[in-house]
Amino acid sequence: MATMQPKRDFRSLNRAIIRGEAGKKVLFQPRIDCWYTDRMFRDGALPAPYDKLDRHDLYCTLDVSPRVYEYNGCVQAYDKVPVKRYNKRISDLETEVHIETPVGNICYLWHSNDSNGGSYFKTWPAENEEQLKTMIWLENNTMWRWNQAHYDKMQEYWGDLGLPSIFVPRVTIQKTIVEVMGVEGTIYGLTDFPETMEEYFEAAENSVMRMIEVINESPLEWINFGDNDHGGVLSPRLFEKYVLPAYLRRNEALHKAGKFTFAHWDGDCKPLLKFANKCGLDGIEAITPVPQGDVTIDEIKEALGDEVFLVDGIPAILFDDIYPEQQLLDTVKELIDKFAPRLILGISDEMSSTGNIERIKLVRDFVDAYNASLD
């Protein structure tokens, strides 16, 4: 339960920056969930002096803004035709997930980790064409509605710490890779039954467009495409054929309602950077420069130009003590110099479990001094 109040109004600064109303001021918005959740999983508490704090109060204490994706529950999926869903515990780490529909049944294994709170698919919801046809029916049967009670609860909890955000389901082929068939299954599917694969892509995107209709009637202002696009898996050819048209369609609809859109690209992004300013996006989240990623800050700047926001930008490993503090600060300065005012500064992707939480304060103080110099 949150007990603290934020020391300043990060929500308004976040809004002003994405609307182009903050001059060249910068918001530092680090994601530290991995650092936080791994410690809670392992020890049940954070190290002193943060041991009594939940996530909200940790951000208040650090005096920085979270990226508040907890608003995801504001837009809820429901089935137009009733579907039976249930789980069966197989072992301490494995759960069998069942979905029974009028056109077929889905069963897959969900596996938990014993070292952290993460989990993953051990088998996939669709491992053949017939199962994918059932997934098509499920997408066509998915409707969306607004949950005002959840929105009000999040407003009360997060307050002015950050601007409410939500991420929509992954796009076409990327959703199939991460959530439905895996990498090999998706590539084999495109070879063996391409028409069914493309029918699934269309059904999944039509579901997202129904979700966007609800979002556009809501007070949510900046919308994320949580795709995890990675050039090592998603080739430029596949991106151009399947992702780019879906991005353009989504962005056209969201921009008509005045929403700010940004997509999550992580992993190796160099092969995809040529599309960065062709997608209709307002920003891209989590592109990671060297020494962690495969692109330089200059290459990112060239790709985004003066139109597309960079959201994040600091390589996560620079928060580890093996890298000098000055290297971290030099990177922060370079990012601000090259990207402000089209910058929401953060960690690409998150600070790891081995990161030094005190380095968050180091960057905060640097950003505060920079912003003060603009007044």
Cβ neighbors of 60 (< 8 A, separation 6 or more) are: 2, 4, 5, 6, 7, 161
User: What is the pTM assigned to this prediction?
Assistant: 0.96
How many angstroms separate the CA atoms of 66 and 160, rounded? 10
CA distances from residue 117 to 39, 67, 92, 142, 359 in whole angstroms, order as listed: 10, 20, 13, 28, 24
Chain position carrying tokens 């039509």: 206
CA-to-CA distance for 165 and 213, rounded, in angstroms? 16
Q: So where are the chain's domains?
A: 10-79+128-374, 81-127
Partner residues linked to 225 by β-bridges: 168, 263
Phi, psi for 120 (deg, rounded to 5): -160, 165
Distance from C-alpha of 326 to C-alpha of 72, rounded to nearest angstrom: 37
70: which residues sit within 8 A by CB, 6+ positions away?
154, 157, 158
Token look-up 């029916």 returns: 137
Give the type of residue at 141: N
Q: Give kind and range of the element (H or E) at residue 344.
A: strand 343-345
> Are the C-beta atoms of 325 and 333 separated by less than 8 Å?
no
Alpha-helix residue ranges (DSSP H) falling in the chain: 10-18, 33-43, 55-62, 129-140, 148-158, 172-175, 182-192, 194-216, 236-238, 244-256, 297-304, 325-339, 358-374
Place of tokens 């294994």: 109
Q: Which helix (H) or strand (E) holds 265?
A: strand 260-265
Residues 109, 192: Cα–Cα separation, whole Å: 24
Strand 94-101, strand 142-146: pairing: unpaired
Main-chain phi, psi angles of 207, to 5 degrees:
-65, -45
Given a contact cutoff of 8 angstroms between Cβ atoms, the answer to whether 350 and 372 are in contact is: no
Q: Does the structural domain 10-79+128-374 have CATH classification 3.50.50.60? A: no
Residue count of the chain, please give it.
375
| Residue-level pLDDT at 116 | 87
Local confidence pLDDT in tens for the 375 residues of the chain? 668 999 999 999 999 999 999 999 999 999 999 999 999 998 888 999 999 899 999 999 999 999 999 999 999 999 999 999 999 999 999 999 999 999 999 999 999 998 888 999 999 999 999 999 999 999 999 999 999 999 999 999 999 999 999 999 999 999 999 999 999 999 999 999 999 999 999 999 999 999 999 999 999 999 999 999 999 999 999 999 999 999 999 999 999 999 999 999 998 999 999 999 999 999 999 999 999 999 999 999 999 999 999 999 999 999 999 999 999 999 999 999 999 999 999 999 899 999 999 999 999 999 999 999 998
